[in-house]
Amino acid sequence: MTRLSGDWLEAPATRAVCAALRAGGHQAWFVGGCVRDALLGIPVGDIDICTDARPDTVQALAEAAGLKQIPTGIDHGTITIVSGGVPHEVTTFRRDVETNGRHAVVAFADTMDEDARRRDFTMNALYASPEGAVRDPLGQGLADLAARRLRFIGDAETRIREDYLRTLRYFRFHARFADPQGGFDPEALAAIAATLDGLETLSAERVGAELTKLLCVTDPAPALACMGQVGVLGRLLPGAEAKALAPLVHFEQATGTTPDWRCRLAALGGGDVGQALRLSKKDAATVALLRDAVGAMSGPAELGYRHGPVLAMQVILLRAALLEMPPPPDAQARASFGAAQVFPVKAGDLPATVTGAEIGRTLRSLESRWISSDFTLDRAGLLGEH
């Protein structure tokens, strides 16, 4: 039998939650991402536990064990139990009764098998006991995970019509967990193409959150390219295309630049992505700045001076990706050099005859001369003619 281990599994706080459920004669199984990630040897984040206990029973067992419980999703069977300061989402086994592509009407179930059949992908339908014994109720998850093969559970189109966000989750999970050499599952792509209209029912917030997560993956370029080919990207961001994303990722890796999802989003183009994805004002402004700075064609040093070395490098790499040419070899050094410069002239340095709106115009003109001199002109040299 496959077994997993890890500090998270042995943590007293987590063991206390499982013990509380079992003390009432109920099951406690880790499920989904924590099991998948542990088997893949990557850090475990959120800890999800499922049980045959109904929500009110979960609450009572938590209180009896002296654990804080929060009814975060009680209508859908989820109670958050806080143990040792760590939140554990405990959800009753469920089965879908009715779905409309955005919300599901669920009924509580008594078995793991029923719970597994309502999940999205085979690699996410894996369970583990508190002792680490792994269960694969569908008989597909372990093999697919070992092969890094992402597949929907059962009929792909049916799974998507239950929740159209699963289309975006498919591409994100493929980018993060699937073997890139294995390509995309033809059945999944056919189902996605047949359900494109359903994407319009998703809120901009849900789409934005999912697309942001995808852009944060180490290399989202193949997934975004496939999204473009199948028609998903155009539905989400009219006018967007993924052509520049692959070279951008390559340049990020080649220069050791930390990826930024906003820069990658800017590489996709399209219309008002801030509105389409309900981005925060700050994130929308950053995407707009990146796009504008690319078109301004300022050199690396000027970009560093105006925007700082980090944003400057993002502009430089984005520009290189869009132009399909490598960035200047000294781009990082020049951006850092520019970021360290301080304009030597202040308004008080100008002659008294320069007043009103002319002050701003004069300072901008002097700053332009200073930048053109590669920041070599000093205060005296700039003010010599005034």
Residue whose tokens read 């995808």: 214
* Mean per-residue pLDDT, 264-288: 94
Residues 5 and 136 in one domain: yes
Same domain as 210, residue 252: no
| Cα distance between residue 264 and residue 250, in whole Å | 12
User: Which candidate, 375, 341, 367, 374, places its Cα nearest to that of 383?
Assistant: 367
Q: Decide which of 147, 167, 198 is a domain's last residue.
A: 147
Percent helix, strand, coil in the chain, to 5, is: 55, 15, 30
**Between residues 213 and 104, which one has the greater pLDDT?**
213
pLDDT tens digit string along 80-109?
999 999 999 999 998 876 555 455 667 899
Question: How far is the C-alpha of 372 from the C-alpha of 377, rounded, in Å?
Answer: 9
CATH code for the domain in which residue 49 is found: 3.30.460.10
Residues 29, 134 share a domain: yes
Domain count, the chain: 4
Same structural domain for residues 255 and 293?
Answer: yes
Domain that includes residue 371, residue range = 347-383
Residue 76: predicted pLDDT: 83
Q: How confident is the model at residue 385 (pLDDT cuts 50, 70, 90)?
A: low
Confidence of residue 75 (pLDDT cuts 50, 70, 90): confident
Range of weakest confidence among 43-57, 98-112, 331-345:
98-112
State residue 104's pLDDT score.
Answer: 60
Percent over 90 (pLDDT), the chain: 86
Tell me: do 16 and 140 sit in the same domain.
yes
Single-letter residue type at 116: A
Phi, psi angle pair for 198, to nearest 5°: -65, -20
217's CB contacts (< 8 A; 6+ apart) are 172, 175, 176, 223
- The domain boundary, picked from 213, 236, 259, lies at 236
Statement to judge: residues 245 and 320 lie in one domain: yes
Domain shared by 207 and 246, yes or no: no
- Residues 100, 125, single domain; the answer is yes
Q: What is the pLDDT of residue 100?
A: 54
What DSSP string describes 216-235?
Answer: TSS--HHHHHHHHHHTHHHH
Q: Is residue 83 domain-shared with residue 202, that is, in the same domain?
A: no
Query: Based on the domain organization, do 138 and 15 belong to the same domain?
Result: yes
Of the three residues 212, 236, 260, the one that is the final residue of a domain is: 236
- Shared domain for 203 and 309, answered yes or no, is no
